A and B are shown apart, each in its own frame.
Chain A
């Protein structure tokens, strides 16, 4: 008999949550997104979830998998399945839910608006200094600031770090790792003209100083970025500014 995965999916709308169980055929090289898609195509077409690229670029398929926020399109079932006492001979168990720390719309789809609103609130948008009539500013790839900025620019906005963050869970006003990391990359970008505005935005209530350096963001980031270190950089920059002002 082929192995069967025991899948629990947390479903429903914000006010009426329920857990449903599905049995999904276990296959080689199966991703968690494959499991969710199998359920939607073969068991219950009303299951709501998000995905687009399936190759880890778009950042839309993140979900909680056995209590850990993950990009489901690049998470192999065999690496995260709970094998239980019999070593997974029955296929093992897997529990899938919507991303933590964000309002649920339906089933596995969350409202990402608070996450993106905080990118704007953190000043994490480009502040232009030139017009299209100006020549492009030279960017030296080997400058220290550029190397720091480069370390954080591959963020795909998947909100895995936001769902992993205990500080976000306890303080709804906290801007969160992704927005603060974006602010840090812009602060290290010579072409950005809003460095003071960024420091104002990230130093206030809900800003970088709320971070407890627990590091779940860095541990869980699927692109292996390091938001915790970026936030530490913002803390240094913000503290330096206070001393500079005297």
Chain B
């Protein structure tokens, strides 16, 4: 029997939201443990910071920011979808405006231009 056909945008958004949440849940304890090293083992923290300067680790940090952005905006999307009794075109317009303003803000923040 064929598996249920699911791959539509809202299902993918749901899966991305779940997976980013799980990944962040795994990341946060490690994050707090590393921060705690500042109090318990400064030498080990310095070693970790040297490791974090590696370009591959920097690239992984990009993934982390991506997960956070996906999860935060996924949550805002759900709140808007469920708690704002707007019609579909209003929501599309709001999402476009939000994405556009986020893009402009990030352009300035990261000094892309």
Given A232-B82, A233-B85, A235-B82; A212-B3 close (CB under 8 Å)? no
Q: Which of A77-107 contact B (CB under 8 A)?
A: 95, 97, 100
Given A214-B10, A215-B11, A216-B8; A10-B85 close (CB under 8 Å)? no
Given A213-B78, A232-B81, A235-B82; A66-B11 close (CB under 8 Å)? no
Residues of chain A with a CB closer than 8 A to B85's CB: 232-233, 236
Residues of chain B with a CB closer than 8 A to A97's CB: 1-2
- B83 interfacial by beta-carbon distance below 8 Å: yes
Q: Mark A53-76, 1 if CB is under 8 A from B, else 0.
A: 000000000001011100000000
CB pair B5 A236 closer than 8 Å = no
The residue in chain A whose Cβ has the minimal distance to the Cβ of B2 is: A67
CB pair A67 B14 closer than 8 Å = no
Q: Mark B1-27, 1 if CB is under 8 A from A, else 0.
A: 111111010110010000000000000
CB pair B81 A166 closer than 8 Å = no
Complex-state Cα separation, A224 to B1, whole angstroms: 26
B63 to chain A, nearest CB (A): 24
Q: Say whether chain A's binding surface is mostly helix, strand, loop, or mixed.
A: mixed
CB pair B1 A10 closer than 8 Å = yes
Complex-state Cα separation, A164 to B6, whole angstroms: 8
B56 to chain A, nearest CB (A): 35
Given A232-B82, A235-B82; A216-B1 close (CB under 8 Å)? no
CB pair B4 A212 closer than 8 Å = no
- A219 interfacial by beta-carbon distance below 8 Å: yes
Pick the contact of A213: B3, B5, B6, B82 (CB < 8 A).
B82
The residue in chain A whose Cβ has the minimal distance to the Cβ of B13 is: A214
- A3 interfacial by beta-carbon distance below 8 Å: no
Given A10-B1, A67-B3, A97-B1; A216-B82 close (CB under 8 Å)? no
CB pair A66 B5 closer than 8 Å = yes
The residue in chain A whose Cβ has the minimal distance to the Cβ of B83 is: A236
State which size class the interface on A falls in.
20 to 34
CB pair B2 A236 closer than 8 Å = no
Complex-state Cα separation, A219 to B3, whole angstroms: 17
CB pair B4 A164 closer than 8 Å = yes
Residues of chain A with a CB closer than 8 A to B8's CB: 215-216, 219
CB pair B14 A213 closer than 8 Å = yes
Given A232-B82, A235-B82; A214-B2 close (CB under 8 Å)? no
| A-B complex: 9 closest residue pairs judged by Cβ atoms | A67-B2, A215-B10, A67-B5, A232-B82, A68-B5, A214-B14, A214-B11, A235-B82, A97-B1
B residues with CB within 8 A of A? 1-6, 8, 10-11, 14, 78, 81-83, 85
Instruction: A95-B2, A216-B11 given; name 7 further pairs at CB < 8 Å.
Output: A67-B4, A215-B11, A216-B8, A216-B10, A219-B8, A232-B82, A236-B85
17 A-B pairs, CB-CB below 8 angstroms?
A66-B5, A67-B2, A68-B5, A100-B4, A164-B4, A213-B78, A214-B11, A214-B14, A215-B10, A215-B11, A216-B8, A216-B10, A232-B82, A232-B83, A235-B82, A236-B82, A239-B83
